[in-house]
Amino acid sequence: MRYRERRERPVEWTECRKQARHRWTVPFLALEWGLEWIAYFLSNWAFLEALEYLSSFGVLVAVIFYFAESGERTRQRHLQMWQVMNTAQGKGGSGGRIEALQELNHDGVPLVGVDVSGAFLRGVKLHKANLLRANFSAADARDGEFTGADFSFAEMQSGNFRNGNFVRAILRDADAPDGDFSSADFGGADLSRANFSNADLHDADLRDARWKEIGSVKGANILGIKNAPEGFVAWALKNGAVQTAP
């Protein structure tokens, strides 16, 4: 709010007239003197001061309503993101799903049961996403960022997750036969009861991964596995895994 300074009463015209050194300056001096009187009266008009207070109060009310309605705006934005997901479901390409998934996850919205089968999601970033029972079948999610994500009971068959980051991710009971996980990073990941039958795991990193309860690796290619936990390779080969050049 502006501070309104109360002006002093202007001098009388006779006093002001004496300031004119030349006759041609008198009209300009008279105009200036008249404006000073107008400013003087307005500076003492309580109505204008009240208007300034009301203007400041209006700004405050607008700010309050802006924050009060932020939840509704967020809800509307989420509805739009879900509409994008539903419209593109079952179709190829991205269809705006990368941005929609990332924005929803950023806002902490659970992506439980989301269906992105067949979608192009290369480079999608879903850090710590809740993807319980999600459907990534035949999705192209190469170079995806899934650190700490929960893929429990997710459908990942024939999905392309090459070079994916699954550090500390949860893939308990995930169904990923024929999936491409070559060069993926499973550092510290939970692979309990996951189905990797016929999957491509060559050059994948398994440091500190929980692997002893893996459901199936029959036909899986484990050539060049990095940081394989002790006993993993022997166990995998015994249970049908292979080591062949891709």
Class of domain 92-246: mainly beta
Q: Which of 88, 106, 180, 109 is nearest to 143 (CA)?
A: 180
Supply the angle between the helices 70-88 and 97-106 in degrees, to the nearest 10: 140
Judge whether 117 and 97 are in contact, CB under 8 Å.
Answer: no
Closest listed residue to residue 136, CA positions, set 176, 93, 81, 194: 176
- The pLDDT of residue 245 is above 90: no
Residue pLDDT, tens place only, 9-26 = 767 766 666 666 677 766
pLDDT tens track for 125-166: 999 999 999 999 999 999 999 999 999 999 999 999 999 999
Q: Which residues of 140-152 are buried (b: 16+ CB within 10 A; e: fewer)?
A: bbbbbbbbbbbbb
| DSSP code at position 110 | -
Outline where DSSP puts E strands in the chain: none
Q: How confident is residue 93, by pLDDT bands cut at 50, 70 and 90?
A: confident
> Encoding tokens for residue 91?
């179709």
| % of the chain residues with pLDDT over 90 | 60
pTM of the model: 0.71
Q: What pLDDT does residue 65 have? A: 60
- Are 11 and 37 in contact, with CB atoms under 8 Å apart? no
Instruction: Supply the mean pLDDT for the chain.
Output: 86
How far apart are alpha carbons 141 and 238 in whole angstroms?
Answer: 30
Contact between 151 and 129 (Cβ < 8 Å): no
What is the spatial distance between Cα 175 and Cα 5, in angstroms, rounded to a whole number? Answer: 76
Reference 181, options 139, 149, 212; nearest CA is 139
